């Protein structure tokens, strides 16, 4: 196990902010991104928090991410807006797009913002949490470069297109929202690479071997670079539909077009918010529904004793609580890298 | 293989219509349902077309489905409406709800209708096709009674909650839309039962055996009645989120509440339409996006030679074409049952 270093939330924010300012971002954008990178780390999503920060800074330095880009509105109709992200930072663009969707939802019930020409949004769950914190159901997704063969195919053509769904916890405002944050592949490439490095089998088939057979052997998947869709044909089909909808709404690039670029950029994203105070104004009824569902789920006899069944987001909520009492632990080597950026 | 009988579309419609009128439905509702049962059969979805028709008539006769129910509007805000289906026929209510979502989309870009206290909508794809035929992206889902254990659990608690996404084919109006129509379980219980009857292994794990281990052995799944979520923890999580959103928007019953009823009824559904002429008015650009995606996918080297890779809905489109030239084939025994109803 790698050496771990304990940091405070504020230490993370300061280290990120200093580097982002030095890379040329405005004070406002640096502050926003620092908070979000730190929150992802606190919530246990290191892969898109502290561990990803050096990669993000590299994408600024190599010109993939434009530090002074401003999103531009291209089209609007009712509760819908289309924006061009002009290759700005993915977090800044996505945060802005969801804030527009939330504002549109207050007026129209549902707000939908399609965003084109943006960059990797890091942890997609961030924007679901943003919507839920504003009292909205949040749904968003992004396309990516191709990482999976479509079902029945031998070539990588389909993105793993993360999909996020967030639902606020009724009047339990201290509880983090329910949060599904998952890509259309069974595992991320990062998870597969970690398993290959550690010589571990994946807990389920995660990609294809060189004969095109699904396998749990991460080292083979690292060679073929062919991830398995979650649910086999179902994840493949869902990923294709999410890509099509995003490109149509944003007049943006599809996965095949992004894959043809020298580096992954110009991604297409969709942000949907539904204002619960408008569309479901009875707060007590909402509370009863969400808490009733959770009670029923959490009472399920578990497969492994003492590992209770949880709804999406409840495990993240536990990690967040633990970070509050025990502190945030990061890989010591990555922390040295971040401080040296 | 069971004996097959060749029927025309009109023969199907007439047989359905006669029985529905005799069961007490109005001429308008009978005509709508007859067409939809026949279309599902023509498109190859026999499980929710002709094969399901006798089950539907039984649900009318035992009082689960109310023949004279009228949907009632409970709440409206902007592009959102909530309706109560008052236990009317699932097809009638769902068709009505999607027609409202389409009308709201024309005004607000996005329309969303939540429906409570309705019955099984038969083939969910019907309402995606309805939206796409009206020039809209269509997204809809339903909850169901519990059919799957939540991930990590030993008890059936989660519905397999079908999710439908439809995207029109640009200016190719003769081509059926792209259509994803899939539940959150890897296989339906009907598919598992057919495999068990035919003594076949499922092509992938489809449920749990008596030790709680995922299995391809359909006969064991028929005994445990525990379906496997598609994508394991992912399908489990998505199903929970779809249930929560539906119940919140519709102020309707959740899967645990439906499961507690003596028969599956009072289901909760959500219908979303996005009017492409409003939110993405450049029709030539839309055409280029969808056709470009399909070209790329269809050109993928296939895993099995001569079995080309297809996007969701393309195989259904092929079956529909074949029905147009070769006729519609139905199970002879079921056809006798339908005619004797």
Which of A77, A278, A280 faces B279 most closely, judged by CB atoms?
A: A77
pLDDT of residue A329: 97
User: Which structure tokens are listed for B140?
Assistant: 């809809």
d(CA A104, CA B279): 14
Which residues of chain B are within 8 Å of residue A73 when distances are taken between CB atoms?
none
Residue B142 phi/psi, 5° resolution?
Answer: -135, 150
pLDDT of residue A175: 85
CB distance A232–B230 less than 8 Å? Answer: yes
DSSP labels for A62-79?
Answer: TTSSBTT---EEEEEETT
d(CA A120, CA A128): 15
- Beta bridge partners, B278, equal none
Residue B63 DSSP class: T
Helices (H) and strands (E) in chain A, counts: 13, 13
Q: Assign 3-state DSSP to chain B and report helix, strand, coil percentages, each to 5.
A: 45, 20, 35
User: Which structure tokens are listed for A223?
Assistant: 């060679």
Q: What is the predicted ipTM? A: 0.98
From the candidates A48, A86, A108, A287, give the one annotated as an active-site residue: A48
pLDDT over 70, % of chain B: 99
Which of B229, B238, B248 faces A276 most closely, judged by CB atoms?
A: B248
CA distance to partner chain B, nearest, from residue A16 (Å) = 32
From the candidates B48, B75, B120, B287, give the one annotated as an active-site residue: B48
Interface test with A, best of B108, B243, B260, B298 (most A CBs within 10 A): B108
- Evaluate if residue A1 carries a pLDDT over 60: no
CB distance B79–A238 less than 8 Å? Answer: no
d(CA B320, CA A30): 55
Residue of A nearest to B298 (CA): A153
pLDDT of residue B187: 97
Which residues of chain B are within 8 Å of residue A300 when distances are taken between CB atoms?
149-150, 153-155, 157
Question: What's the mean pLDDT when you consider all of chain A?
Answer: 96
pLDDT of residue A173: 67
d(CA A60, CA A64): 6
* B48 is known as an active-site residue: yes
Following CA atoms A263, A34, A322, A102 in sequence, which dihedral angle do they give, to the nearest 10 degrees?
A: -80
pLDDT of residue B14: 98
Task: Let me know if the fold of B4-64+324-340 is the same as that of B72-167+180-279.
Answer: no
User: Which structure tokens are listed for B79?
Assistant: 């592009």
pLDDT over 90, % of chain B: 97
CA distance to partner chain B, nearest, from residue A139 (Å) = 10
Which of B232, B257, B301 faces A153 most closely, judged by CB atoms?
A: B301
Segment A51-85, tens digit of pLDDT = 999 999 999 999 999 999 999 999 999 999 999 99
Which residues of chain A are within 8 Å of residue B159 when distances are taken between CB atoms?
none
d(CA A135, CA B7): 53
CB distance A312–B150 less than 8 Å? Answer: no
CA distance to partner chain B, nearest, from residue A22 (Å) = 39
Which residues of chain A are within 8 Å of residue B82 when distances are taken between CB atoms?
279-280
Residue A145 phi/psi, 5° resolution?
Answer: -70, 165
CATH architecture of B72-167+180-279: 2-Layer Sandwich (3.30)
* Domain parsing of chain B, residue ranges: 4-64+324-340, 72-167+180-279
Strands A207-208 and A178-182: unpaired
CB neighbour list of residue A263: distance below 8 Å, 6 or more residues apart = A59, A62, A64
pLDDT of residue A55: 97
Following CA atoms A28, A29, A35, A36 in sequence, which dihedral angle do they give, to the nearest 10 degrees?
A: 150
Which residues of chain A are within 8 Å of residue B243 when distances are taken between CB atoms?
293
Segment A263-322, tens digit of pLDDT = 999 999 999 999 999 999 999 999 999 999 999 999 999 999 999 999 999 999 999 999
Within chain A, strands assigned E span 4-7, 72-77, 80-84, 110-118, 136-142, 146-148, 158-159, 163-167, 178-182, 207-208, 214-215, 267-275, 328-331
Following CA atoms B259, B191, A230, A126 in sequence, which dihedral angle do they give, to the nearest 10 degrees?
A: -30
Within B22-142, strands assigned E span 72-77, 80-84, 110-118, 136-142
User: Which structure tokens are listed for A74?
Assistant: 């291209």
Q: Which fold has domain A72-279?
A: Ribosomal Protein S8; Chain: A, domain 1 (3.30.1370)
CA distance to partner chain B, nearest, from residue A262 (Å) = 18
pLDDT of residue B175: 86
Residue A174 buriedness (CB in 10 A; 0-12 / 13-18 / 19+): exposed
- Evaluate if residue B159 carries a pLDDT over 80: yes
User: Which structure tokens are listed for B183?
Assistant: 């539940």
State in words which class domain A4-64+326-340 has: mainly alpha
- Evaluate if residue B174 carries a pLDDT over 80: no
- Evaluate if residue A19 carries a pLDDT over 80: yes
The verdict on domain B4-64+324-340 having CATH code 3.10.50.30 is no
pLDDT of residue A115: 98
CB neighbour list of residue B169: distance below 8 Å, 6 or more residues apart = B175, B176, B177, B178, B290, B291
In the predicted model, what is the mean pLDDT of residues A241-248? 98
Residue of B nearest to A165 (CA): B241
pLDDT over 90, % of chain A: 97
pLDDT of residue A170: 73
CB distance A279–B75 less than 8 Å? Answer: yes
CB distance A307–B149 less than 8 Å? Answer: no
User: Which structure tokens are listed for A54?
Assistant: 């050096």
- Evaluate if residue B22 carries a pLDDT over 70: yes
d(CA B128, CA B40): 13
Which residues of chain A are within 8 Å of residue B229 when distances are taken between CB atoms?
231
pLDDT of residue B150: 98
CB neighbour list of residue A258: distance below 8 Å, 6 or more residues apart = A143, A144, A145, A146, A159, A264, A265, A266, A267
Which residues of chain A are within 8 Å of residue B232 when distances are taken between CB atoms?
186, 204, 230
User: Which structure tokens are listed for A34?
Assistant: 């620092």
In the predicted model, what is the mean pLDDT of residues A190-198? 94
Residue of B nearest to A302 (CA): B153
pLDDT of residue B173: 67
Segment B255-307, tens digit of pLDDT = 999 999 999 999 999 999 999 999 999 999 999 999 999 999 999 999 999 99
CB distance A279–B312 less than 8 Å? Answer: no
Segment B304-322, tens digit of pLDDT = 999 999 999 999 999 999 9
Segment A87-129, tens digit of pLDDT = 999 999 999 999 999 999 999 999 999 999 999 999 999 999 9
Interface test with A, best of B289, B302, B308 (most A CBs within 10 A): B289
CB distance B157–A248 less than 8 Å? Answer: no
d(CA B301, CA B42): 30
For chains A and B, count residue pairs whose Cβ atoms are closer than 8 Å: 263
CB distance B149–A300 less than 8 Å? Answer: yes
């Amino acid at each position: 196990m790698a050496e771990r270093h304990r940091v405070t939330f504020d230490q993370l924010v300061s280290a990120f902010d200093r580097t982002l300012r030095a890379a040329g971002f405005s004070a406002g954008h640096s502050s926003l991104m620092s908070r979000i990178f730190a929150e992802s780390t606190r919530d246990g999503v290191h892969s898109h928090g502290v561990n990803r920060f050096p990669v993000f800074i590299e994408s600024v330095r190599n010109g993939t991410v434009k530090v002074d880009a401003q999103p531009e509105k291209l089209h609007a109709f009712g509760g819908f807006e289309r924006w061009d992200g002009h290759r700005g930072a993915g977090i800044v663009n996505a945060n802005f797009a969801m804030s527009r969707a939330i504002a549109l939802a207050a007026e129209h019930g549902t707000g939908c913002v399609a965003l084109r020409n943006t960059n990797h949004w890091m942890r997609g769950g961030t924007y679901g949490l943003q919507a839920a914190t504003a009292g909205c159901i949040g749904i968003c997704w992004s396309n990516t470069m191709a990482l999976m063969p479509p079902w029945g195919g031998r070539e990588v053509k389909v993105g793993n297109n993360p999909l996020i769904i967030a639902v606020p916890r009724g009047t339990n405002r201290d509880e983090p929202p329910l949060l599904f944050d998952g890509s259309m592949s069974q595992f991320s490439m990062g998870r597969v690479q970690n398993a290959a490095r550690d010589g571990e089998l994946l807990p389920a088939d995660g990609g294809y071997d060189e004969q095109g057979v699904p396998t749990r052997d991460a080292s083979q998947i690292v060679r073929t670079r062919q991830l398995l869709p979650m649910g086999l044909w179902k994840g493949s089909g869902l990923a294709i539909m999410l890509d099509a909808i995003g490109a149509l709404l944003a007049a943006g690039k599809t996965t095949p077009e992004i894959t043809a670029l020298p580096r992954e950029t110009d991604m297409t994203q969709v942000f949907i918010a539904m204002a619960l105070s408008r569309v479901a104004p009875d707060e007590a009824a909402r509370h009863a529904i969400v808490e009733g569902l959770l009670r029923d789920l959490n009472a399920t006899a578990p497969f492994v004793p003492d590992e209770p069944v949880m709804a999406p987001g409840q495990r993240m909520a536990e990690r967040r609580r633990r970070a509050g009492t025990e502190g945030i632990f990061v890989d010591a080597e990555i922390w040295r890298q971040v401080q040296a950026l």
